[in-house]
Structure 1
Amino acid sequence: MHSVSLHAIPDIPEIKPGDELPKILGDAIEACGLSLKDGDVLTSAHKIFSKAEGRIVNLTTVTPSQDAKRYGEELNKDPRKVEVILQESRRVVRHFKRPTQHEGTIICEHKLGFISANAAVDESNSGQDQTLILLPEDPDTSARHMQAALSKRFNVRIGFAITDTFGRPWRLGQVNVAVGLSGIPATIKEQGNTDAHGRVLNVTEPAFADELAAASGLVISKAGQTPVVLFRGLSWNFTESSAQNLIRSQKEDMFR
């Protein structure tokens, strides 16, 4: 019987700008009695990368634009936060505030192409009041550096994914999705294969990286300081990859 194991890596310290993240993660893996094997995959919440890379904004340094003030008034949001969201965005896709909401919602296309609430700008686990955390400038590059460093330290070939928490159209709640990849495929193309009854598959293409990201949410928590998860027992082929390959082309957008 095929099985996959998930291990949340404990005791990862609070990360500060400039921290040597590969050493911190490698030390944490060894400290809990684990090592890495060929074929392992690690996922990590983006915030430890964002903190290490200094992707933190202090709201006291932000001057809101007129657009930010307008959205802030309509949505009951701090216009300084809105200004940061706009700076991280290519465009505002939708914005709305329902009567039952204390604070409205602004859906944006991030500069990296991801569609999400607040352009992935977040206040949780920022480490101090009046601060916001942004996505890494280039999550794929961040993932590649980490994958290379850990592969060298443990003398193995592994995959690495950086994740963030997104909502889904027409579904409640949030799940983790991949925003940066190294080594692991974004999707697995099943087109041309057959199902259990011999029927040819024409469109089946599991979002492998997002499946991993979502599964990591089963063993981590916002308050647990366990942002890194080790997967063992997966079947995958090492490949040059990018989370950009998970973004659907705008010409295929059926809701515009």
Structure 2
Amino acid sequence: MSERSRLEAWAPDGLPEVRAGDDLAALVLAALDEGRDLADGDVVSVTSKIVSKAEGRTRIGDREAAIDEETVRVVARRGPTRIVRNRLGLTMAAAGVDASNVAVGSIVLLPLDPDGSARTLRREIRRRTGLNVGVIVTDTSGRAWREGQTDIAIGAAGVRVAEDFAGHTDAHGNPLVVTLPAVADELAGAAELVQGKLAARPVAVLRGRADLVLPIGQDGPGAASLVRPDGADLFGWGAREAVVRALAGDAADLVPFGEPAPTVELAAALDRLPDGVDRTAVAAVCFAHGWRIEDWEGTIDGA
């Protein structure tokens, strides 16, 4: 028989409403037949919602005020919708503040430390069952350029969150340069398929990728390692916001534009401006490329 690659995913019913102070590990294991449904090398996926509820991150109050509290920087705004970079470094709508699957009038904030929450759950499952499993904490996120949402891993412990194939070659001998599958996010998406949004199944088990589960005592870098540093992303500002920020030229807004562009790249951008454009437009283009107009003019004068 030829060798096959197989991934299994299932989500148990029966998890009760999670409240602040609940023993999350006990609830998860109870839903998994006291751990008898688990095996070494499995990955346990839990939604951030139940982690937040257990950790007391639910409150009664104004959603907009909570978004303000969780926001580090507004990336883009379209009407009432805000896409922000939150305190975890995640760029998402409404900073991850959610008002679904919670009592009317209440809101849920993301866990304070999703990677830490995953480490705690992994440790407790190991202590109570003797099993070595990986754990991911998931949340729903939109994607640029595509409609709809999918679940991603915002916390992880004992799981390789990415597989680096750079330096390898494919079956045709072509070198792989920047191939880095975010496997923790792929596992989160698979878990969401069996959990569903309205089925009250916030826990899932994934089996078949034991190669991604780290040895006991090794938790790995966590899902935080998948977050690009501010300025390392090509889309640090929304399209409209980038124009306004560049024209304003506030030094505090410079980082999301990234590292200063090479002089040849900036020169090419300036060449696209119409003849006779004023100094304000030139300064904005320089700013968007990580330069101050004074430094650029100095470079030209010194050439």
* Category of TM-score, reference length = shorter chain: 0.7 to 0.9
What do the CA deviations read for 1:111-169 (whole angstroms, capped 9, x no partner)? Answer: 0100000000000011x111100001111111000011112222121100000000000
- Aligned residue pairs, count: 228
Partner in structure 2 of residue 154 of structure 1? 129
Amino acid at match of 1:95: R
Higher helix share: 2
- 1:241 Cα shift? 2.4
Contact 1:35 1:154 in 2 (8 A): no
User: Residue in 2 aligned with 1:198?
Assistant: 173
CA distance in structure 2 between the partners assigned to 1:2 and 1:118 by the alignment: 38
- What is the DSSP-based 3-state SS (H/G/I as helix, E as strand, rest coil) of the residue aligned with 1:218? helix
Match in the other structure for 1:69 = none
For 1:29 and 1:138, the matched residues in 2 are separated by 25
Q: List alignment gaps of at least 5 residues for structure 2.
A: 237-303
Task: Write the letter of the residue equivalent to 1:148.
Answer: R
Match of 1:44 in 2: 46
For 2:213 and 2:33, locate their aligned partners in 1 and report how far apart those are by CA, in whole Å. 25
Which residue in 2 is equivalent to 1:85? 67
Query: 1:254 maps to which residue?
Result: 234
Tell me the CA shift for residue 255 of structure 1. 2.5
Does 2:220 correspond to 1:244? no
1:223 maps to which of 198, 209, 216: 198
| Residue identity matched to 1:113 | G
What is the Cα deviation at residue 92 of structure 1? 1.1
Would you identify which runs of 4 or more consecutive aligned residues in structure 1 move more than 6 Å? none
What CA distance in whole angstroms lies between the structure 1 residues aligned with 2:52 and 2:138? 11
TM norm structure 2: 0.73
Deviation at 1:93, TM superposition (A): 1.1
Aligned position for 2:24: 21
Q: CA RMSD in A?
A: 1.4
Indicate the structure whose relative CO is greater, using CA pairs within 8 Å and at least 6 residues apart: 1
Map 1:1-256 onto structure 2 (within 5 A). Answer: 1-30=4-33, 34-59=36-61, 80-97=62-79, 104-126=80-102, 128-234=103-209, 235-238=211-214, 239=218, 240-256=220-236
Structure 1 regions of 5+ residues with no counterpart?
A: 60-79, 98-103
Letter in 2 for 1:45: T
TM-score (norm 1): 0.86
| Contact kept? 1:36, 1:154, Cα under 8 Å | no
Q: Residues of 1 paired with 2:71 and 2:6: CA distance?
A: 40
Work out the percentage of aligned pairs sharing the same amino acid. 39
SS of the residue 2:119 aligns to: helix
